Amino acid sequence: MISHKNFKLYIDKNYQTVCKAAALHIVSHVKTTPRSILGLATGDSPKELYKSMVFYSQTMNVSFSKVLTFNLDEYIGLEENSKDSYQFFMNEHLFKHLDIDLSHTHFPLVHQNIETSLRHYQTLLETHSIDIQILGIGTNGHIGFNEPGTPFNSKTHIANLTESTLKNNQKHFKDQAHLPSQAMTMGIDEIMRAKKIMLFASGKHKKKPIDDMVNGPISIDFPASILQTHPNVELYLDLDAAEDLLKLLEIE
């Protein structure tokens, strides 16, 4: 792992290797701190991470029974028990493979009433301090569903998804005719209160967002840029996603 500005960088040509290293760190943290509080993300970037977390939890005999989790976001308008929901994603890729208590897993949208859900999640995040927050990054710099223009002091809120986000997420939907245009997301202020942030990215389409996040100006026009001000951020990248960073650092 190397350091650049406020960031620690773990880079490997193989994204699986990157995710295994991160998963080992997370599972080891849970082993020493059984009541760990984890902030979780969905999408392509963390799939390999969760696969490795399951592997290490089983091979190291680490229990997740006392762990609390808070997911970044959830789509608005899906049918109950939809296979397109992030709750379904988390159950399929992580929760059902661990001994985690599902009552300890939290998602933003848990009440039919939107305002009730907002207040509920804001209160939960005020009263629980996340130890490790998992993040991906959108090509437009969004973290969670905090799209460009989101204030840095934002709390859990309703996000109107941009055209680029909708286009990028469309491939994940089984029912593409009913792709939601809104989501409830953890706010930037709540993300930044995590003790540690671990951000994952792979592929050439992520090299510019990663470079802009690390070296660009801090601006709400590129939400991920606020991570420059966090004291404990680790980036887990394959060579394609790290390409522009490596050119700047003159690292082969």
CB within 8 Å of 199: residues ≥ 6 apart: 134, 135, 136, 137, 143, 224, 227, 233, 234, 235, 236
Q: Which two tokens stand for residue 170?
A: 């469309």
Of 48, 84, 147, 243, catalytic = 147
Among 71, 140, 146, 168, the active-site one is 140
Identity of residue 31: K
CA distance 83 to 81: 6
Please indicate whether residue 14 is annotated as part of the active site: no
Tell me whether residue 111 is one of the annotated catalytic residues.
no
Q: Which three-class secondary structure string do you get for 115-173?
A: HHHHHHHHHHHHHCCCCEEEECCCCCCCECCECCCCCCCCCCEEEECCHHHHHHHHHHC
Q: Which two tokens stand for residue 122?
A: 């804001």
Which of 48, 93, 131, 142 is the catalytic position?
Answer: 142
Q: Which residues touch 60 (CB under 8 Å, ≥6 apart)?
A: 27, 28, 31
Which residue matches tokens 């992520």? 206
Q: Catalytic pick from 48, 73, 131, 212?
A: 73
Q: Which of 88, 82, 94 has the alpha carbon at shortest distance from 40?
A: 94
Annotated catalytic, 240?
Answer: no
Q: How far is CA 59 from CA 27, 62, 131, 225, 238, in A?
A: 11, 8, 23, 37, 25
| 142 a catalytic residue | yes
Active-site residue list: 73, 140, 142, 147
